[in-house]
Amino acid sequence: MAAAGFDATMSAVLWGLGVVAVIVLGGLVVLWLRKRLLGRELPDDGGFATLETLRQQGLVTEEELRAIRRKVMDRHQAREQEREQEKEKARSEGKSDLTFEDKLSDLKKENGGGYTPP
């Protein structure tokens, strides 16, 4: 009777291992086919392309590249202004719960951007 339970358990384990092996082999086959069909190496950057890469490949024109950079910089500056306003509001309310990054940013501004932490 105990042998029948052991056989059932071993059978389930072997089936599970077989399913895992089929999934892994299937993934390897998909990677091999993708590499072969694309005819080139897969990107080492995790699939992300930089703007410069897109421009070099001709997917983005020079004007589009400038417009994208402008939008990114505008968004960054808007976020910086929001952070500065939040910090000023916190200071005016007497709160001193600024983050380390905020304090470091303030020190850099006070020293003309030349402050480096010890």
Q: What is the pTM of this model?
A: 0.39
Structure tokens at 83: 């952070």
Q: Are 117 and 104 in contact (CB under 8 A)?
A: yes
Q: What pLDDT digit, counting tens, does each position of 100-116 carry?
A: 666 677 777 776 655 55
DSSP code, position 42: P
Provide the 10 A C-beta neighbour count for residue 115.
13
* Per-residue pLDDT, 34: 86
Provide the 10 A C-beta neighbour count for residue 12.
10
Q: Are 51 and 60 in contact (CB under 8 A)?
A: yes
- Judged against a pLDDT cut of 60, whether residue 42 lies above it is answered with no
